[in-house]
Amino acid sequence: MLRTHTCGELNPKNISEKVTLCGWVQKSRDLGGMTFVDMRDRYGITQLVFNMQTNAKLCEKARKLGREFVISVSGIVEERSNKNLKIPTGEIEITVDKFDILSKSKLPPFTIEDNTDGGEELRMKYRYLDLRRNPLRKNLELRHRMTIETRNYLNSQKFIEIETPYLIKSTPEGARDFVVPSRMNEGEFYALPQSPQTFKQLLMIAGYDRYYQLVKCFRDEDLRADRQPEFTQIDCEMSFVTQDDILNTFEELIKHLFKKVKNINVEDFPIISYDYAMKYYGTDKPDIRFEMKFVELNNLAKGSGFKVFDDTESVVGICAEGCGDYSRKQLDKLTDFVRKPQIGAKGLVYVKYNEDGSFKSSVDKFFDQKALKTWSEAFNAEPGDLLLILSGESGHTGKALCELRLEMGNRLELRDKNKFCPLWIVDFPLLEWDDETNKYHAMHHPFTSPKAEDIQLLNSEPGKARANAYDLVINGVEIGGGSIRIFNKELQKKMFKALGFTEEQAQEQFGFLMNAFEYGAPPHGGIALGFDRLVALFGGSDSIRDYIAFPKNNAGRDVMIDSPSAIFAEQLKELKLKIEE
Ligand code: ASP
């Protein structure tokens, strides 16, 4: 080894030892008689001292060190007179008697400090420098610990990790495929997996009754802070289990991670139905760190001559506790918020429940105190509270009110980053109507089984069928989802038919799976958890990019290696691909 210790481990116990360390120059201070250098590696920072009186030559050399030079130093560990108790090595320093410059560095384009002066794009371009900074290093260490603990838990439950291929045929998970041309098969393409879905099911048929894989998946879709074109899943499948078995197994995995990684005991996860979530939170990924459930006012608010309510499908609201003293300006701001194009509500009705028991509302002309009192009772409101009410088509209104609920949660500081409230959403609809294609889409994926009692609906009213599908949601973030699968050829055929496939299309694309069902398929089901999102959540951030070593930017580009990029004409020729002029 070129070093005896790292820069993060020496302490008063090592005093008078002779040591050799290697690392990067964080900064140096020239005080005339003495030069101090902070040397950094992955493990910490150690102070080096060069003394003009005892070794002028070495001290001169140290003065010339630039930031981020890589050096190797040997010397004696000494007690420091000016101690820094904030860092583990802060009580000692190395009096250097020998040092080498292993590698010089240009001046970095941004400071390698916890709070850097570099902008996002610049840091992405020099990602290897950004990764030297503590916050990113800590993120990758967190990710590593979570990988280990995930494997520890699943291994302890008899799961076996099996790799599935990346060059495959399309697996539909609702996004576009990334495709790879095949040189050896002219005009043909592989697809990169959107998930290992069909392979893990085939592994169940092969008898590997508990499979997992920490696996890269690829989806060509529009990017957001919590989406990357390639991302990692904890992908799992189990045979001979019920939905409850799967929920229990993965609830325990999440609890294990919270305990081992953050030393937090999370409570048992509530299980709520999709319909309940939509009705009371307007979303299938509710943030249940706070209550503020929706209250429907259709019966109380319609028929009083207020046209906006009378002519609409849904009148629904929330109660913001203690906000009854909101000023005109604050209420205008909330109205502007719900009117933003992304939210799309037409307006906002408010009712202030005054401390004296009276009401002041934006609809006083249409509703008297008695009427407003009945509203407040529906909300279980108290004097001092504020009712915020939206109306319109129920889907849109629910979405808009969901955003308003989250906004009020933020304003009232009810969305504490250190509080974790996981829950399961179950009983999803099996299918979803798509106006663009005029077809049903599988809400989860086409391999998800319908509830036994809803199978007959597939022929008559497919939109009403519910699925044996579930999602895991934590703090309003969809962390994962899965389902109990179809394992019977006839039912799978029926499902493809409901999705608008002809029998030939179904056979061509998924014949391999349906044929496998004819050779002894066990009942099975599984789940996949978005690992990047889970790590980001543990780290207290919304951006998964900060937890991926080499992520892509919002345009799906890696600006460091400049990819995607054109390929050589030679390669195109070899692949028999032509780019249209
Ligand atoms: N393949 C699904 C997904 O990637 C998860 C599952 O059903 O197990 O979302």
pLDDT digits (tens, 9 = 90+) for 364-386: 999 999 999 999 999 999 999 99
Residue 527 — φ and ψ, nearest 5°?
-160, 155
Which of 269, 239, 240, 277 is closest to 253 using CA atoms? 269
Say which CATH number the domain at 318 has.
3.30.1360.30
Flag whether pLDDT at 580 surpasses 70: no
Tokens of 159: 């799961």
Q: Residue 347 is which amino acid?
A: G
Quick one: 410 and 307 in the same domain?
yes
> What's the CA gap between 358 and 422, in Å, rounded?
38
Q: Which atom belonging to ligand 1 lies closest to the Cα atom of 447? A: 7
Q: Which of the listed residues 55, 88, 103 is the one where a domain comes to its end?
A: 103
Q: Does some domain include residue 279?
A: no
Q: For position 72, what pLDDT does the model report? A: 98
- Cβ contact 545:551 at 8 Å: yes
The CA–CA distances, whole Å, from 302 to 296, 362, 394 equal: 11, 16, 15
From the CA of 409, how far away is ligand 1's center (Å)? Answer: 30
- Report CA 212 to chain centroid distance, whole Å: 19
Tokens of 356: 């004296």
Question: For the chain, what is the mean pLDDT?
Answer: 96
Flag whether pLDDT at 140 surpasses 90: yes
Say which CATH number the domain at 190 has.
3.30.930.10
The CA–CA distances, whole Å, from 391 to 53, 282, 283, 428 equal: 81, 13, 16, 25
Least confident of 164-173, 343-352, 423-432: 164-173
Q: Which atom belonging to ligand 1 lies closest to the Cα atom of 195? A: 4
Domain of residue 455: give its range.
170-238+263-271+423-529
Kindly state the DSSP code that residue 216 receives in the 8-state scheme. E
Provide the pairing of β-strand 34-41 with 18-30. Answer: antiparallel
> What's the CA gap between 113 and 249, in Å, rounded?
41
Total of domains in the chain: 3
Q: What is the pTM of this model?
A: 0.95
> What's the CA gap between 255 and 263, in Å, rounded?
10
Residue 390 in 3-state DSSP?
strand
Q: Which atom belonging to ligand 1 lies closest to the Cα atom of 235? A: 8
pLDDT digits (tens, 9 = 90+) for 93-131: 999 999 999 999 999 999 999 999 999 999 999 999 999
> What's the CA gap between 223 and 558, in Å, rounded?
13
Q: Does some domain include residue 206?
A: yes
Say how many CA atoms lie within 13 Å of 69 toward its Cβ. 19
Quick one: 430 and 343 in the same domain?
no
**What is the share, in percent, of the chain residues with pLDDT greater than 90?**
93
Question: b vs e for 11-23, b when ≥16 Cβ sit within 10 Å of the residue's Cβ?
Answer: eeebeeeebbbbb
Q: For position 168, what pLDDT does the model report? A: 96
Q: Token pair 């989406």 is at which residue? A: 227
Q: Residue 58 is which amino acid?
A: L
Quick one: 332 and 402 in the same domain?
yes
> What's the CA gap between 400 and 340, in Å, rounded?
10
Quick one: 411 and 427 in the same domain?
no
Quick one: 428 and 522 in the same domain?
yes
Quick one: 306 and 356 in the same domain?
yes
> What's the CA gap between 163 and 199, in Å, rounded?
10
Burial of 167 (0-12, 13-18, 19+ CB in 10 A): exposed
Pocket of ligand 1 (CB under 6 A): 173, 195, 197, 481-483, 526-528
Tokens of 245: 């078995």
Q: Does some domain include residue 147?
A: no
Say which CATH number the domain at 79 has.
2.40.50.140
Residue nearest to atom 3 of ligand 1 (CA): 528
Residue nearest to atom 7 of ligand 1 (CA): 482
